[in-house]
Amino acid sequence: MYGTKFRFLFTLLFVILFCSAAQATTLQITVLDSLDNSSVSHATVFVNGINQGRTTNTGEFSYPNDNSKNLDIRVSMTGYDSWEQIVDRNTTALRVNLTRQTLTLKITLYDSDTLNPISGASVNISAENQTQGKTTDATGSATFGVQGVTMYSVAISAQNYQPRSETVDMESTNSEIQYYLLSGNRYSIVVKDKDTGAPVQGAEIRADGTLLGQTDERGVLVTPITRGQSYTIDVRSPGYQTFTESKIIGDNDALETIAISKAPVGAFIFVTDANRAPLAGADVYINGSLMGTTNQYGRSDFPNLLSGSYPVEVRKQGYVTVSRQIDVLNQSQDYDFEMQFESAVLTLFVQESDQKVIPNATIIVNGQTLGTTDDHGQYVTKVTLGSLNNITSTKDGYQSATIQEQVIPGNATASATLTMQRTLDWGLVTLIGLGAIGVLILFAAIRMFGRRKRRHVMRRNEI
């Protein structure tokens, strides 16, 4: 009995497993372009929000389905609108048609000579048997609604301009394209600085030795040229090296950009001190780098300096560093730099002839009263290195003392001594003089009185 039950349960389990296996299927997804039914490869397939993979080169993707529930299928691809749909769980084949994204293509036309926008030009674009045509507006622009992942042919025509044909590959983003149209027999030359890319105004342009004109503020010269011929083009501008090239200007040539290099102009740096005397041994820094040192005549030569603006700094021990910007324009021009002496500390000692210090003495330097000495008879001040200073000390009861002192460069600190003599106390001198006169008068009076007394005694004796 138990064997019969066991066989029954085994048979039931086998049937269940067989039915489950029979229900498992594969969902075959084919992704096509809705416009031309071409296969879309590498499209991403999402099932129930989970990235399951990408389509093959034939636009196919296989998904193993357990048929347990309906499937949320989403397909996305760059340049296409995403496709999404709920698919029945028993579906075994699914065709997905992706629609190309709608994008904008903006085409702007410019005159190759003047670089001004061209209005009223006819612009036609075509792709896969679809053609659109528009006329450029006042800004020289025409805007089209186009589809992504599409190659467009562009045909441009405008009165008095050569026609132009181009192709534009639209992918997955809006696009703005600029075209320059060639007018008649005119040709544009743009001259720029080779180092900075800035336009060079006033550059003279010659073709086969004939002056064609000068570039404007944009560095542009528009000139009539007969195409299909070879020309020797010369470009000359002050401060720049002459540019020369031989060129055949063809029918499709609209403009040429020429980069010219600056020519060595050279410059002399002339350095003097505060007395306008040439200063040797001064270091000259240009653009922050040491480039030279002045000679015995205070000059330093920089023959390879190009035209332009340069920050220059001049340094020398004992002098205040001076810096400024120079504009190198003319050949071997002198640029003057005047250097002032640095300040030095000068300690002044004021004393009497017996070296007794004199406090509270007034210090005057070059006619300017600076202060008074301290309790030790000292006064500390700053003076300019190399200059001759007139120094005076004054105080009541003393005669003024004056010295000349020069602190030479290289001596950061220095000292000087002023010796003052006491002045006579005229009040005391007068008092002493009056006393002396009084003594003399008293002495004279005593002598006169003594003589008279002796004479009187003699007369009495005689009687």
pLDDT tens by residue, 324-382: 999 988 777 889 999 988 888 889 999 998 889 999 999 999 999 999 999 999 999 98
The dihedral built from the CA positions of residue 188, 189, 193 and 196, taken in this order, carries a sign that is positive
pLDDT in tens, 176-209: 999 998 776 678 899 999 989 999 999 999 999 9
* Six-digit token string for 457: 């005694």
Maximum Cα–Cα distance for the chain, whole Å?
212
- Taken in order of first residue, the domains within the chain and their CATH numbers are 24-98 (2.60.40.1120), 102-181 (2.60.40.10), 188-260 (2.60.40.1120), 267-338 (2.60.40.1120), 343-420 (2.60.40.1120)
H or E, element range at 145: strand 141-147
Residue 272 burial (10 A CB sphere; 0-12, 13-18, 19+): middle
Residues in CB range of 75: below 8 A, 6 or more apart: 29, 31, 43, 44, 45, 46, 82, 83, 84, 96, 98
- Nearest CA among 106, 99, 110 for reference residue 40: 99
Q: Is 128:147 a contact under the CB 8 Å cutoff?
A: no
Indicate yes or no: pTM above 0.85: no
The dihedral built from the CA positions of residue 135, 139, 143 and 148, taken in this order, carries a sign that is positive
- β-pairing, 283-286 with 308-315? antiparallel
Instruction: Tell me which amino acid residue 146 is.
Output: V
> How would DSSP label each residue in 180-238?
EEPBTTEEEEEEEETTT--B-TT-EEEETTEEEEE--TTSEEEEE--TTEEEEEEEE-T
Could you give the CA distance from residue 247 to residue 228 in angstroms, rounded to a whole number?
A: 10
The residue written with tokens 């983003």 in the block is: 173
Q: What is the pLDDT of residue 460?
A: 47
Composition of the chain by helix, strand, coil, percent to 5: 15, 50, 35
Could you give the CA distance from residue 422 to residue 398 in angstroms, rounded to a whole number?
A: 4
Could you give the CA distance from residue 278 to residue 269 in angstroms, rounded to a whole number?
A: 11
Q: What is the pLDDT of residue 358?
A: 93
Q: What is the mean pLDDT of residues 278-292?
A: 94
pLDDT classification of 306: cutoffs 50, 70, 90: confident
- Nearest CA among 334, 194, 196 for reference residue 271: 334
Residues in CB range of 108: below 8 A, 6 or more apart: 117, 136, 139, 140, 141, 142, 176, 177, 178, 179
Q: Is 201:215 a contact under the CB 8 Å cutoff?
A: yes
Chain centroid, CA 433 distance in Å: 85
> How would DSSP label each residue in 30-80?
EEEETTT--B-TT-EEEETTEEEEE--TTSEEEEEE-SSS-EEEEEE-TTB
Q: What is the pLDDT of residue 18?
A: 47
Residues in CB range of 377: below 8 A, 6 or more apart: 349, 350, 351, 357, 358, 359, 361
Strongest mean pLDDT among 120-134, 252-266, 320-334: 120-134
pLDDT classification of 221: cutoffs 50, 70, 90: very high
